[in-house]
Amino acid sequence: MIKKVLIANRGEIALRIHRACHEMGIETVAVHSTADADAMHVRLANDSVCIGPPASVDSYLNIPAIISAAEITGADAIHPGYGFLSENAHFAEIVADHGLTFIGPTADHIRTMGDKITAKETVKKLGIPVVPGSAGGITDDVTAKKVCAEIGYPVIIKASAGGGGRGMQIVQNADELSVKLQTCRTEAKASFGDDAVYIEKFLLKPRHIEFQIIGDNHGNCIHLGERDCSLQRRHQKILEEAPSPVINDETRARVGGIVAKAMADLGYSGAGTIEFLYEDGEFYFIEMNTRLQVEHPVTEMITGIDIVREQIRVAAGEKLSYTQDMVRFFGHAIECRVNAEHPFTFVPSPGNVTQYHVPGGLNVRCDSAVYAGYKIPPYYDSMVAKLIVSGYTREGCLLRLRRSLAEYVIDGITTTIPLHQALMDNEDFQAGDYDIHWLEKFLKDKTE
Ligand code: MV4
């Protein structure tokens, strides 16, 4: 088994990983930038190493410094968390080359899913339904026109090396196609160094529903149900819930069964998320994430399964602790992302947290590395906490969230807590009646 894990991340997820390690009797190494010397995970870890100045490229993305820190401290594994190096196949390879265990899938699987054209081809062959579109990349106008005529407008052109909303063009009709194809290819080359693009039917009012899977190195892969992540602004998720308000048990078992079988056939090991657009009762694969996700706690809350613990177990070569029939879904869970930002304009608000009080009570979980007196640095992501509640019913979660949000004290900075409070009072949200565009409209009405 793994004895000492280097956590190549910061903030709440570094703390989340430390907690799983501590419960498993595994020591931890925190690596941090000069801006994070006073961070909570640095205090709690068994060892800590400063790996560079504040800028992420010089610290949390500094591969030689991270590998050196692992060697100096005697770590035998590295957990990359989310963001930073978590989906960097090159990093996964280097970690393995140094005789260390990368807590995540193989470099090959990361690479396959990082290229969106290859990812789509791969999962389609494995039986997962995909969005209608081009078979592979598109380079010329003639082929593009043919594909679009077949699938019908509007279409969306996406960069193969993009993902998460970067490098996309929506095309309303044939007249716009040629220019937008060229724009997309040029931007893809400039942003990602790869001009490969593909075309899909543009779905107008889908929901974003993703399935959590986890596989081991013994041919097993299970699914842990879905999360509804439709509430997002500029491709940043704001609130996530499990189960989705629009998915029933039969559909969960059917689609979950398809994705778990597909990933077992692929020999996938580690945690992963299969992202779908869901419209008119149909699922369409768009991307796969090969990392632990920010919103994993809602899945943990309805299954009782510690996803980070399972990641560590499977990386160490152990079997998953659960077979599919041991997985039970209980009740509902909702996560509110608390960002150090203005609640409606999203202007960043880093600075000193002067007073801090976390809500508690039955079925309330707060994943955060913030403490009273902590100074939120301006260099990184603005998410400072995740407030997660669970309950028998979705309605119960909404009542519990109202109560917890009111109890939460974060003085000294502006946070998105008032946005969540406004959501709790909205009828569409209360009814679970929202798609991927709903939040932007809600915010437009609020700020106009
Ligand atoms: C789409 C789509 C509609 N149809 N694909 C956005 C993030 C990335 N993961 C994929 N995204 C989308 N892909 C098809 N075939 C809608 C989105 C999308 C979106 C697109 C344009 C403007 C805002 C958007 C917000 C959420 C999702």
pTM: 0.98
Atom of ligand 1 nearest to the CA of 133: 15
pLDDT score of 16: 98
What are the phi and psi torsion angles at 434 (to 5°)? -150, 150
291 is catalytic: yes
Chain-centre distance of CA 160, in angstroms? 19
* pLDDT tens-place string over residues 325-355: 999 999 999 999 999 999 999 999 999 999 9
User: Is omega for the bond preceding 377 within 30 degrees of 0, making it cis?
Assistant: no
Pure H helices in 106-160: 107-114, 116-125, 141-151
pLDDT score of 316: 98
Distance CA 14, CA 36 (A): 12
Q: Is the CB of 199 under 6 A from ligand 1?
A: no
* pLDDT tens-place string over residues 31-54: 999 999 999 999 999 999 999 999
- Between the CA of 171 and the centroid of ligand 1 the distance, in Å, is 13
Distance CA 109, CA 274 (A): 13
Q: Is the CB of 360 under 6 A from ligand 1?
A: no
Best of 180, 237, 436 for a ligand 1 pocket test (most atoms within 8 Å of beta carbon): 436
Distance CA 3, CA 19 (A): 14
Given pLDDT bands bounded at 50, 70 and 90, which one contains residue 320? very high
Distance CA 443, CA 429 (A): 13
Give the rounded percent of residues in the chain with a pLDDT score beyond 70. 100
* pLDDT tens-place string over residues 118-169: 999 999 999 999 999 999 999 999 999 999 999 999 999 999 999 777 889 9
Length of the chain counted residue by residue: 448
- Per the residue annotation, which of 10, 291, 313, 337 is the catalytic one? 291
pLDDT score of 43: 97
